[in-house]
Structure 1
Amino acid sequence: MKPHLLLIDALNLIRRIYAVDANQKHSNEEQLVLTCSERVAQACKKMLRITDATHAIAVFDGDKSWRYHFYEHYKHSRAPMPETLKSALHHFKSAIEETGIVVFEPINDEADDIIATLACKAADNKITSTIVSTDKGFLPYLNSEIHIYDYFKRQHLDEPGILERFGVDKNKLVDFWALAGDKTNDIPGVKGVGIKSAQQLVNNYTSINEALSDELLNSGLRKKLETNMDMYVISKQLVSLRTDINLGFSLKQLRLN
């Protein structure tokens, strides 16, 4: 059987399932956690069947990644994890492990960077992987070896869908977000540059430097870019996932029994 690596963005899956279950009637918090952890385990089993995976890992977030130190406002407006869920994460980890999937929680790195590193390393070795997440940050890495699956919409994401959603090709997404910003993660982008201007820039030029060298570039837009170039550089680093993390384990250790 050809190897296939399943990469689960664990908290992305858990928090969304929990948000739905928390709105249902439960006798107590313990029952809520039990029901929700069972649903997460069922979701993992279903994804194993859908992908026909031979290897699998569910990755959690470490504590305060480099982005929080690099930019102090990173995710500062995001609502904290509900305390009931936070104190019960060990139940979810156990539920996932019982499906045969390896659970990994780095010390400091974000799950997105770990998953991107694993997917790219696998692709370099001609091994196909499927990332299960609704996080748009993975979209620039979509290719013939790296697939992305939205469990809640029950669909694999594709390049036409990316173009329809963002108005730019997948290989221009990082520059697009660096210009327009990303409110969900409190990434600033370039002040005064909105979605339409960002689309125009990345669709018409191969780089921001090329745009600035164009004498026909709108003077107002040029001034915004020149004045806020530092925030463009910062934002681009924030939205770019790392693919070079030293993981400390091999693909063999992720094989399903």
Structure 2
Amino acid sequence: MNYENILLQSEEKISIITINRPESLNALNAKTIQEISTALDQLNSDSSCRAIIITGSGEKSFVAGADIKEFSDFGQEKAEEQARNGHNSLFNKIESLSKPVIAAVNGFALGGGLELAMACHIRYASENAKLGLPEVTLGLIPGYGGTQRLPKLVGKGLANEIIFSAKMILAQRAKEIGLVNEVFPIEELLTKTKELAKTIANNSPMAISKAILAVNLSDTDKGFETEIKSFGELFDMDDKKEGVSAFMEKRKPTF
């Protein structure tokens, strides 16, 4: 499939979605959101893809935010519809995807860009990355999950500070507070992210899928029961049989 606003490439069990709107610092508009969503559906059904990376084109910006021009004249009903559609078609989809999604945050990740990164399962960032939720400076609040995912990552107090102040967080500080996992020089970011993705891709895809489900429910009353049930279900699956056999035979498993 041909895309206008994203690039899609695959190599060695991993796929890379690159948001490619450099003229607008890769800002998210409705078409870009839909294209990413369509690409994720395509990759989720592709058995050769075991892990997905989302990044932005160039070295200045991952995603600088939502495309403000697109919603500047919205009223309440239209704004709620846009937020709900964004949640359902992309942000929640990423979080619950059966394959791990890693954000390679290269530069600005603001507003919807940070919300996109937070929806991913893992976040790596470049040293020049700047992250923040500036919505209150527009008289708004984050609408794509920012008020919900940020407290889970950094705690309620820091989330309040970041949202209320609209301050940008530098990459190293983002790592210190748990907003990103690792920080690398910009020229090493994608290489390091690929290395992690390839390591993950060599593990059991069924086990990772079950782990994603259990971790996503870790802050609910269904978390422990989901872990127990998933643990048991895996015992009847081929990946478990191959993994245990490989361990006993002192060889690497082939999943």
TM-score of Structure 1 vs Structure 2, range by shorter chain = under 0.3
Higher gyration radius (CA)? 1
Flag the structure with more relative contact order, 1 or 2, with Cα contacts below 8 A and sequence separation at least 6: 1
Under a length normalisation based on structure 2, what TM-score does the superposition of the two structures give? Answer: 0.25
